Amino acid sequence: MNQYDPSKIEAKWQKKWEESGLYQTDESGANKKYVLDMFPYPSGATLHVGHIEGYVGTDIISRYFRMKGASVLHPMGWDAFGLPAENYAIKTGIHPDESTHENIKTFKRQLRSVGLSYDWSHEIDTSSPEYYRWTQWLFTLFFKMGLAYKQEADVNWCPSCETVLANEQVVDGKCERSGDEVIKKKLNQWFFKITDYADRLIDDLAGIDWLEEVKTQQKNWIGRSDGALIEFKIDGLDREINVFTTRPDTLYGATFLVLSPEHPVVEEISNIRKQISKTDNDILNDPYDIEDVKSYVAEAKAKSDADRRENKEKTGVFSGLYCINPVSGEKIPVWIADYVLMGYGTGAIMAVPAHDERDFEFATKFNLPIKQVIFKSKDDTTKDLSEAYVGSGVLKNSGDWDGLMMPDEFDKVISDLDKKKIGEKKTTYHLRDWLISRQRYWGVPIPMIYCESCAHDGKSWFTENVTASDSAAVSAREIASSSSTPRNDDYAGWYPAPESDLPILLPHDVDFRPTGKSPIALSKSFQEGVTCPGCGGPASREVDTMDTFVDSSWYFLRFVDPKNEKEFASREAIAKWLPVDVYVGGGHVVQHLLFARFFWKVIFDAGYIEKSLGEEPFLKLRAPGWILGPDSRKMSKRWHNVVTPDDIIPKYGADTLRMYEMFLGPFDAMKPWSLTGVEGMSRFIKKIYRLFEETHALENKEQDKQIDILLNSTIKKITDDIEGMRFNTAISTMMEFYNDLTDAQKLGTKINWSEVWEKFLRVMAPFAPHLAEELWQRLAVGGLGLEKTKSQELTVKSQSIHTQNWPEYDEKYLVQDEVVIPVQVNGKRRGEISIEYSVSSIENKARVEERAREVVASYVDGVVVKKVVYVPGKIINFVI
């Protein structure tokens, strides 16, 4: 008898599958399913079992869908640009292009060794000119739509990576990658106007099947809050300070204003005071020194965001200015404090210490008045608050607003502000525009050209292209810019590189050591012969590259048409495959998943996506849980607890690895790796193999009903579990099937082995594709109920188990003839009865009750039974 030897079986079938083109996409797209993994960054570290988990999950789903008759697109590719390769190059001198492609080779070998059913003819590599040509083209589309702009801004700068970072890449004030403290720097940078899409990015979440957790996180990140913009006049001057507040109802309680140290008014304080003193000399009598303001502001500006947050004590300084509360007419002081952030709202707040914890703390520390305007009820006569009251209640001390209930009559407050022309409804967002410039080498060059002379004349692509040929882009631009028109002066001198020039190649012969300037700036060839698309004069290219998240924001679109040389993807291919039906991957909750949704919406608006496809690219999203090391710590080189497929496959085989990973626990849960667990799975697979060897050639056409029931209920359970991505219980079901089957075998139950194997192997096929194929082919050779093949050589695709139909189950075999009904007394199980299924219905309650009463006689005899609850076929309960 043969021994199970995965190393022989698996290599053999992987080769044959490839030769026969088994996993080539059925390009008809009939009954399509697009099953997508988040494509990996090919790092120097190899793939470990945690990465594989998601890939095995999507592989099972893809194989299952194919067997159900769907045409499935299941591609894989490489998010190949990025900093680690560049840093590695700086250290070793090996060009990123070279190391990246070495890594891709390793990753690909590993993925193949797991037996994943990717169609490699759809493979993409974001660092190839064929791909990034279209990344550049999309950039120019965004530009023409008014959604890409260059602006001087305070940006996050990582001193160690020597590049700017997106807000999303700053974690706790530190660089996500290097861990260094991020500093603020004023730089001229390219942005994507993702804020124009903030509302749609929130609202469209409602219609997609994503984990609630991920949706909530995206909503929080976008951070929409509704409130009002309120105007405060500076006392003694015809000038206002605007504040944003979500609580305009507490306006009568606003006893001072607070400005962020970066607020524009702060720099002008001396001037403003001079102007005021001409009409009102009182202001000069304040015990106040402008030097205090200057030193406070200087100190605050020197601190990093992290430092500011670190400091729990509130700090601040009186500005020397007063404003007028627009409803109460009171004169209130203006303070400067770093707990107010310039980046949110207007950079100025009205402080309502009675109803805001931060304002309360500040007012207490600096002895500022606290005025309560919200009371728990009409009869509430609280005098001195010991802490801010932030709850709901009724307004008092509030002029005409007295008696209004908050938050129920909030809208009345807003409309009154509007009527009095002192404020208006306003929505603000936490989301900032997406900063995409990077001063690094290993990325996509931004395809923009700058012309000094056009800039001087105030000319730009926008001024020169009133009637652009690209009508789709222009009409889309109108849609997109309805909320905010591009400011032409920001664009002066800028032109997108003409489409015929794309791709703008990343120069190869560059010293990529970071200097704080883009390395491409040092390339001689890069700027050779560049002319202005507007005036034809000499011009220069943008030397920054794009954030790699731009590359990965549209790769799922390229996958459907990866070799197209005319378009980023054809309209037809997009319509055929998209949206993605199942998307699996971890992390990236606010980065990739937000950016990719943004890209889809922009491309949708530009008219390149059929409206019928909808406004969301990923219908269903699931994240595999982390696999922890055997020590229950996160897998990491540091703990020496990393397990890779290469540690497992040579000894146990890919099928064991796949089955074990899926059996570990719920797909989305965090769970620790265990080597003894792998051995257990290996045992199970060997048992299947052995049972097959012993039984598959036994001829027996008869079968007891009990086996029919076992087989059909197993098929049903596994089918349901795959649909619900409960792979762990699907595998338990296979184990139970084996146990029940071998028990029955020992008892001499009649079993039609060929039918059993012919069905069971098919439900096992998505999980253990190599073993299932091997045994399927042997079954075919045995000729039991299958077409005979001359040898075990699979050359025809149609003979593979993976092209067979998914087995159907027969409802009539899902119920036993006899059912076992537990008998309870007061909800505690005291026995059970076995009755014919046909008499278990509710009409026969009396009969069932009689039988049950015998079993629990010792509990119910001689006592009053108050009630008998009978759930047909499930349970009977005597209440005494």
Partner RNA sequence: GGGUGAGUGGCGGAAUGGUAUACGCGUUAGUCUCAAAAACUAAUGGGGGCAACUCCAUGAGGGUUCGACUCCCUCCUUACCCACCA
CA dist., res. 429 & res. 716, Å (int)? 48
In angstroms, give the least distance from the CB of 630 to RNA.
10
Cβ–Cβ under 8 Å, residues 229 and 428:
no
- The two tokens of residue 133 are 């040509």
CA dist., res. 455 & res. 464, Å (int)? 12
Nearest residue (CB) to RNA, 73 versus 229: 229
In angstroms, give the least distance from the CB of 857 to RNA.
12
Strand partners, 149: 191
Nearest residue (CB) to RNA, 159 versus 872: 872
Of 703, 741, 737, nearest in space to 721 by CA: 737
In angstroms, give the least distance from the CB of 266 to RNA.
13
Cβ–Cβ under 8 Å, residues 116 and 659:
no
Nearest residue (CB) to RNA, 614 versus 873: 873
**What is each CA distance from 237 to 226, 258, 277, in whole angstroms?**
30, 18, 10
In the block, residue with structure tokens 């096992």:
764
- The two tokens of residue 202 are 């929130």
CA dist., res. 115 & res. 68, Å (int)? 20
Nearest residue (CB) to RNA, 683 versus 847: 683
Nearest residue (CB) to RNA, 391 versus 827: 827
In angstroms, give the least distance from the CB of 412 to RNA.
18
Nearest residue (CB) to RNA, 224 versus 797: 224
Nearest residue (CB) to RNA, 288 versus 339: 339
In angstroms, give the least distance from the CB of 676 to RNA.
4
- The two tokens of residue 636 are 């990491």
In angstroms, give the least distance from the CB of 465 to RNA.
37
Of 440, 548, 444, nearest in space to 128 by CA: 444
Cβ–Cβ under 8 Å, residues 200 and 615:
yes
Helical segments of 675-726, H only: 675-695, 705-723
In angstroms, give the least distance from the CB of 821 to RNA.
8
**Angle between the N-to-C axes of helices 49-67 and 705-723, in degrees from 0 to 180, rounded to the nearest 10:** 120
In the DSSP assignment, the letter for residue 182 is P
**What does the buried/exposed string (b/e) look like for 829-867 if buried means 16 or more CB atoms within 10 Å of the residue's CB?**
ebbebebeeeebeeebeeebeebbbebbeebbeeeeeee
Of 26, 11, 27, 18, nearest in space to 570 by CA: 27
In the block, residue with structure tokens 């009724």:
394
Cβ–Cβ under 8 Å, residues 801 and 765:
yes
Of 604, 458, 443, nearest in space to 534 by CA: 458
Nearest residue (CB) to RNA, 472 versus 590: 590
Cis peptide leading into residue 447 (ω within 30°): no
Cβ–Cβ under 8 Å, residues 180 and 162:
no
In angstroms, give the least distance from the CB of 691 to RNA.
9
In angstroms, give the least distance from the CB of 669 to RNA.
5
CA dist., res. 459 & res. 534, Å (int)? 8
In angstroms, give the least distance from the CB of 749 to RNA.
15
Cβ–Cβ under 8 Å, residues 81 and 443:
yes
Helix (H, G, I), strand (E, B) or coil at 291: helix
- The two tokens of residue 780 are 């075919």
CA dist., res. 568 & res. 603, Å (int)? 11
Cis peptide leading into residue 159 (ω within 30°): no
Nearest residue (CB) to RNA, 826 versus 838: 826
Please report the sign of the dihedral spanned by the C-alpha atoms of residue 150, residue 155, residue 156, residue 159. Answer: positive
CB atoms within 10 A of CB 468: 15
In angstroms, give the least distance from the CB of 824 to RNA.
6
Nearest residue (CB) to RNA, 120 versus 339: 339
- The two tokens of residue 89 are 């190059």
With 0-12 / 13-18 / 19 or more C-beta atoms within 10 angstroms meaning exposed / middle / buried, residue 702 is exposed
Nearest residue (CB) to RNA, 223 versus 498: 223
Which are the contacts of 480, defined by CB distance < 8 A and separation ≥ 6? 145, 146, 147, 193, 196, 602, 605
In angstroms, give the least distance from the CB of 59 to RNA.
20
Nearest residue (CB) to RNA, 388 versus 497: 388
In the DSSP assignment, the letter for residue 800 is S
In angstroms, give the least distance from the CB of 427 to RNA.
10
Beta-strand relationship, 875-879 and 818-825: parallel
Half-sphere exposure of 5 (CA within 13 A, CB side): 7
Nearest residue (CB) to RNA, 466 versus 864: 864
Amino acid (one-letter) located at 116: L
Nearest residue (CB) to RNA, 32 versus 358: 358
In angstroms, give the least distance from the CB of 518 to RNA.
28
In angstroms, give the least distance from the CB of 515 to RNA.
30
CB atoms within 10 A of CB 565: 7
In angstroms, give the least distance from the CB of 581 to RNA.
24
Amino acid (one-letter) located at 518: S
In angstroms, give the least distance from the CB of 235 to RNA.
21
CA dist., res. 60 & res. 622, Å (int)? 14
In angstroms, give the least distance from the CB of 320 to RNA.
21
Cβ–Cβ under 8 Å, residues 708 and 46:
no
Nearest residue (CB) to RNA, 503 versus 585: 585
Nearest residue (CB) to RNA, 129 versus 666: 666
Cβ–Cβ under 8 Å, residues 861 and 878:
no
